[in-house]
Structure 1
Amino acid sequence: MNSVRIIGGQWRRRVLKFPDSEGLRPTPDRVRETLFNWLGQDLDGWHCLDLFAGSGALGFEAASRGAAKVVMIEQAPRVLAALHANAEMIGAASAVEIRRGDAIQYLSSTKVKFDLIFLDPPYNKGWIPRLEPLLPGVLNEGAVLYVEAEHELEALGEWRTVRHGKAGEVHFHLMRRADV
C-alpha cells in the first residue's frame, strides 16, 4: 500500500493508505499546501467535489479544513475500498460521501451544486475537454476549480486561471469564473 498524509485541519498528520492503480498520482504535500494557501485554510461550509478521487488526498484535505460536504467519485474498486477504509479510519463519514462512478455520468446526472471542484483526471486521455461543457451545470456562482494537467491551461470554459504552479511534470491551476 502507498500512503499520503493530510497536512492541515482537524485530521492533520493522519495517514491515508491506497493501492497502486493506473493513472493514480496523489497530489504532493507541497502542492496541496500551496493550493490551500491560495484558497484559504478554512473551507467552512463549502461543498466540494473530488471528481477523480484516487487517494482522496484533496477531498479529505478539504473535509479536514471544514468543508460541509465532500463528494468523491472513483471507479476503480480497490481504490474505492481504500477511500471507504480511510473515511472510516479518520471519522469522516458525516462530511464525505464516496461514490463509485464515471465522472461524465456523475456530472450529467447530479442536481448538486458545488463551491469547489478538484479536477485531476488521468493524463493524455482527453478528459478535460469532455468534462468542460458539463462543469457550469454543477458549479455555484463564485465557484472555484482546481485543475491538475499535463500542460498549462489558461482557461476552462468561463473559468480563467488566476494562480498556476508546476511540480515536476504536473501543472496545477486555481481557476475562477471570468465575470466574478
Structure 2
Amino acid sequence: MTGRAPGRIRIIGGQLRNSRLDVPDLPGLRPTAERVRETLFNWLAPVISGARCLDLCAGTGALGVEAISRGASGVQFVERDARAAQALRDNLARLKAPGGQVATADALAYLQGTPQAFGVVFLDPPFAMDLWAPLAQRLEQGGWLTPAAWIYVESPKHAGLVLPPAWTLHREGSAGEVRYALYRRAAAT
C-alpha cells in the first residue's frame, strides 16, 4: 500500500463489479486495498443505495466508484492533482458510471465553497499532508454533512487523529500500516 499505484485496480462489487480503473503512475497515489473496500462496503451496505457521497482527496476514485457501483445516487469527487482527476473522468466515462462529478481542486479550498450536505463521506487524504483534523473540522462546521452522516476515515495505523466530538466510531480495522474506520455523525440536539 505504499509507493506507486498499480496500472489498474478492480471494482469489487455492485453493477460495475470486476470493471477496472486505469490508475496513473503518480508519486504518493495510494489506492485503498480491495479487502479494505470490501469490508467498508459491507459496513455501508444498509445505507449506500441512494446515498449522496463525497469522495474527498479522491485519488483513483476507487471508493466513490464502488459507491456508484453499489447504487449511490451521486458522488462528488474532489482531487487536486489534474492528472489523477482527468484519469478519474476518463474512467467514469469509459464505465458509463452515472452520477459521478469530478472537481479538480484542493480539498480544503473546495470545502470553503458553497456547501452541499452529503450522507456518506470518504476522507482519505495523502498521509504525508496530515489533513485529517482541518478537513474534518470543515466538514463538520461547514454544512457538508447530513445530520446522521457516515464518514469513512483512512489513516496511518498509529496516527493520533483529532476528529469532531460529534463523530462516533462505528467500526474499525487495520491492514498493514493502515487504519480504516467508519464514523457516524450524531445529530445535533
What band does the TM-score fall into relative to the shorter chain? Answer: over 0.9
CA distance, structure 2, for counterparts of residue 24 and residue 15 of structure 1: 17
Report the counterpart of residue 120 of structure 1 in structure 2: 124
Verify: 1:177 aligned to 2:185, yes or no: yes
Give the RMSD, CA atoms, in angstroms. 1.7
Shift of 1:46: 0.5
Report the counterpart of residue 160 of structure 1 in structure 2: 168
Shift of 1:121: 0.4
Shift of 1:82: 0.7
Contact 1:155-1:161 at 8 Å conserved across structures: no
CA distance, structure 2, for counterparts of residue 154 and residue 164 of structure 1: 14
CA distance, structure 1, for counterparts of residue 46 and residue 35 of structure 2: 14
* Distance change in 2, residues 1:24/1:35 (3 Å): same
CA distance, structure 1, for counterparts of residue 76 and residue 170 of structure 2: 24
- Could you state the TM-score of these two structures normalised by the residue count of structure 1? 0.93
- The match for 2:105 among 90, 96, 101 is 101
Amino acid at match of 1:170: V
CA distance, structure 1, for counterparts of residue 24 and residue 61 of structure 2: 12
Shift of 1:124: 3.1
Residue ranges of structure 1 left out of the alignment (5+ in a row): none
Amino acid at match of 2:33: P
Report the counterpart of residue 148 of structure 1 in structure 2: 154
CA distance, structure 1, for counterparts of residue 145 and residue 17 of structure 2: 28
Report the counterpart of residue 4 of structure 1 in structure 2: 9
- Could you state the TM-score of these two structures normalised by the residue count of structure 2? 0.88
Verify: 1:48 aligned to 2:53, yes or no: yes
Verify: 1:134 aligned to 2:138, yes or no: yes
CA distance, structure 2, for counterparts of residue 41 and residue 17 of structure 1: 29
CA distance, structure 2, for counterparts of residue 135 and residue 35 of structure 1: 20
Contact 2:48-2:70 at 8 Å conserved across structures: yes
Q: Report the number of matched residues.
A: 179
- The match for 1:19 among 20, 24, 45 is 24
Contact 1:145-1:174 at 8 Å conserved across structures: yes
Shift of 1:51: 0.3
**For residues 75-114 of structure 1, what are the structure 2 equivalents within 5 Å?**
75-92=80-97, 94-114=98-118
Contact 1:153-1:161 at 8 Å conserved across structures: no
Amino acid at match of 1:66: G
* Distance change in 2, residues 1:42/1:66 (3 Å): farther
Counting aligned pairs with the same residue, the percent is 45
Residue ranges of structure 2 left out of the alignment (5+ in a row): 1-5
CA distance, structure 1, for counterparts of residue 73 and residue 114 of structure 2: 18
CA distance, structure 2, for counterparts of residue 85 and residue 134 of structure 1: 29
* Distance change in 2, residues 1:58/1:153 (3 Å): farther
